Chains A and B, each alone.
Chain A
Amino acid sequence: MRATLRQAGRATLQLVISAAMAFGSYIFVTVLLITAILTVTVVGAFMLPETVLLIRRIAGAKRQQAGAWTGRKIPEAYQPLNGTVRERLRTAVRDPSTLTDFRWMVAYYAYGALPVLMLPLWPLGLVVDGVWCGLVRREAVVLPLISRLADLDAEWSTALLKPSPKAQLAVRVEELVQTRAGAIAAHGAELRRIERDLHDGTQARLVSLSMRIGLAKRAYDQDPAAARRMLDEAQTLAEEALTDLRHVVRAIHPPILTDRGLVGAVRALAASSALGVAVTVDGLTDGHDGPRAPAAVEAAAYFVIAESLTNAAKYSGADRAEVHLARARTGLRVQVRDEGRGGAGGPSQAIGSGGEAGGSGLLGMQRRVAALDGSVTVTSPVGGPTVIEVELPCVW
């Protein structure tokens, strides 16, 4: 009986909130009607996006309340309202979720009255169930109905507030447009960086080298000693240009990836790390047989692991680290973990600050991964452990 009462109590609270919300939305729908009428005149056009935002907030609150009762989260799929008034207006009207919300609100006019049914149920329940349970020792029948009422309220809300597949698709498209723009921007930045490296390093050295050879040719007859010095310098410049080029190539696509594949390359990385690194692999194979992720994905994964291991060796104080590579349905998952002192990066502090331990490295890592529509998660509480997780979407 006590459990039944407690459950009925919780349902009552749920229904009271629901009733309050229903009351709020009665008032709001009235406001809405006024806005709708005003929209026909020009004045309301400015108000409409704001009204839609308000509806979203109310619907959001109802989603949360209903979701909390059923334990199933109700997803949202809103298109962001931004830009000029005209754009906001267009998005507000075209977003399929606006219609969904509006439909719910009208329906709520009716089923918002549901909590009222609970008023007679309480006294009835206390009397009937008091006798039924207390004297006859049977299961309560009336009080659980209050819970059923709350269930009904939540079920209907879920059905009505669930975004249509069309709305979910629209939101996904919007997301993809954003990430694709980000990817293109990051790709452009990468190309410019490579161009600058080649221009400032390799090209400049080759020009200077060619100049030295020209000078050596002129000095060849009159001043052999000077000619020899020029040739020495020319050789040094050629070697520097080669070293530059090697660095540029490594940054674009580490050659060992081509030679050994991602797993082989990561094992080589682990072997040459200052830490004792254990590499575990799930769904990938060593060598060239078996599935391979696209070259850009492999390169990004390699870069992230190299950077993470370097940071761990420099700052974490740990002497062991673990690298896990896994092939997932949606792409490649990478995890690097060390049991060091933690406090690296973190979502707010070191990423971007550059001055913090490994901050600039983490930033470069994020850029590189973002360019492929991937994500980096750094968890590094003070005291450790530091876990860097990377998801790189790809088809393979």
Chain B
Amino acid sequence: MRVVIAEDNALLREGLVLLLTSAGHEVVAVAGSGPEVLPALLEHRPDVAVLDVRMPPGFRDEGLRAALEAREKIPGLPVLVLSQYVEESYAAELLGVGASGVGYLLKDRIGRVDEFLDALDRVAAGGTALDPEVVTELLTRRRNSPLDSLTPREREVLKLMAEGHDNTTIAKTLVVTERAVSKHIGNVFLKLSLPPSDSGHRRVLAVLAYLQNV
């Protein structure tokens, strides 16, 4: 895959380049500050962009703004946003411009190389990768919602689904059969009164939309 990286910290930037090239990806451009991001993306049209939230010149949320702007200019451009900390409202902003091809992860997750590369693939393929911390926040914030009626196992399944995983990964993570996962998902959709949906990405979107609006 052709990747554009936006990260101001040289140490992390080199690390990311090393990691991605060793995984067989091609890093076509690196941007070290907010204003450099959009031109680089417009010029190279990568398969996926990996962006840091906080970048020069303001060291605020330049990367996030660049991601939102880029997705306006290049509809459907897959972006994976990385940050030193996660903020639910940032996730909402990112998902607000369409949840397909969007990732939002803590930088810590890069350390789990296989999982990180898997998330990157998912985002590049139009899927979603949402940090477990964000999903936990989404799941725990409302009292007296239909979420309370879920069994612990159903909650686990919902959590993994919201993070953007497919049935196969969910089954593997929870050490159950895919049939069992399908059954749990069916129950979750029933309890939350969501319309039954195929196992594709639309299902993730339905779940995320639900969690954001509870």
When A239-B108, A274-B142, A274-B143 are in contact, do A259 and B61 touch as well, CB less than 8 Å? yes
Measured in the bound complex, the distance between the Cα atoms of B88 and A256 in whole Å is 11
B54 touches A259 (CB 8 A): yes
When A239-B108, A242-B108, A243-B108 are in contact, do A272 and B143 touch as well, CB less than 8 Å? no
* Mask: chain B, 82-121; 1 = CB below 8 Å from A; 0 = not: 0011011100100000000000000010011000000000
Measured in the bound complex, the distance between the Cα atoms of B106 and A243 in whole Å is 10
Whether a CB of chain A sits under 8 angstroms from the CB of B210 is no
A268 touches B87 (CB 8 A): yes
Chain B at the A interface: SS class: loop
Which of B59, B60, B141 is within 8 Å of A272, CB to CB?
B141
Contacts of A250 in B (CB 8 A): 85
When A250-B85, A255-B85 are in contact, do A274 and B141 touch as well, CB less than 8 Å? yes
Q: How large is the interface on B (under 10, 10 to 19, 20 to 34, 35 or more residues)?
A: 10 to 19
Measured in the bound complex, the distance between the Cα atoms of B107 and A255 in whole Å is 15
- Least CB distance from B208 to A in Å reads 15
Whether a CB of chain B sits under 8 angstroms from the CB of A86 is no
A256 touches B141 (CB 8 A): no
Which of A249, A259, A274 is within 8 Å of B60, CB to CB?
A259
Contacts of A268 in B (CB 8 A): 87-89
* Mask: chain A, 241-257; 1 = CB below 8 Å from B; 0 = not: 01100100110000110
Whether a CB of chain B sits under 8 angstroms from the CB of A313 is yes
Contacts of B61 in A (CB 8 A): 259-260
Whether a CB of chain A sits under 8 angstroms from the CB of B137 is yes
B89 touches A235 (CB 8 A): no
Q: How large is the interface on A (under 10, 10 to 19, 20 to 34, 35 or more residues)?
A: 20 to 34
Whether a CB of chain B sits under 8 angstroms from the CB of A288 is yes
* Mask: chain B, 122-154; 1 = CB below 8 Å from A; 0 = not: 000000000000000100011100000000000
Measured in the bound complex, the distance between the Cα atoms of B142 and A259 in whole Å is 26
B137 touches A260 (CB 8 A): no
B111 touches A238 (CB 8 A): yes
- Least CB distance from A190 to B in Å reads 20
Chain A at the B interface: SS class: helix
When A288-B60, A313-B143 are in contact, do A249 and B85 touch as well, CB less than 8 Å? yes
When A243-B108, A274-B143, A313-B143 are in contact, do A260 and B60 touch as well, CB less than 8 Å? yes
Contacts of A271 in B (CB 8 A): 88-89, 92
B92 touches A246 (CB 8 A): no
Measured in the bound complex, the distance between the Cα atoms of B89 and A250 in whole Å is 16
Of all chain A residues, which has the CB nearest B134?
A272
Of all chain B residues, which has the CB nearest A239?
B108
Interface residues of A in 53-71 (CB under 8 A from B): none
- Least CB distance from A76 to B in Å reads 49
Whether a CB of chain B sits under 8 angstroms from the CB of A164 is no
Contacts of B59 in A (CB 8 A): 258
Measured in the bound complex, the distance between the Cα atoms of B85 and A246 in whole Å is 7
A235 touches B111 (CB 8 A): yes
- Least CB distance from A164 to B in Å reads 51
Interface residues of B in 29-80 (CB under 8 A from A): 53-54, 58-61
- Least CB distance from B26 to A in Å reads 27
Contacts of A242 in B (CB 8 A): 108
Contacts of B112 in A (CB 8 A): 235
Measured in the bound complex, the distance between the Cα atoms of B143 and A98 in whole Å is 61
19 A-B pairs besides A239-B108, A258-B60 with CB distance below 8 A are A239-B111, A242-B108, A243-B108, A246-B85, A249-B85, A255-B54, A255-B84, A256-B87, A256-B89, A259-B53, A259-B54, A259-B87, A260-B60, A260-B61, A268-B88, A272-B141, A273-B141, A274-B141, A288-B58
- B residues within 8 Å of A by Cβ? 53-54, 58-61, 84-85, 87-89, 92, 108, 111-112, 137, 141-143
Q: What are 15 A-B contacts with C-beta separation under 8 Å? A: A235-B112, A239-B111, A249-B85, A250-B85, A255-B54, A255-B84, A255-B87, A256-B87, A258-B59, A258-B60, A259-B61, A271-B92, A272-B137, A272-B141, A288-B60
CB-based closest 3 A-B pairs? A268-B89, A259-B61, A272-B88
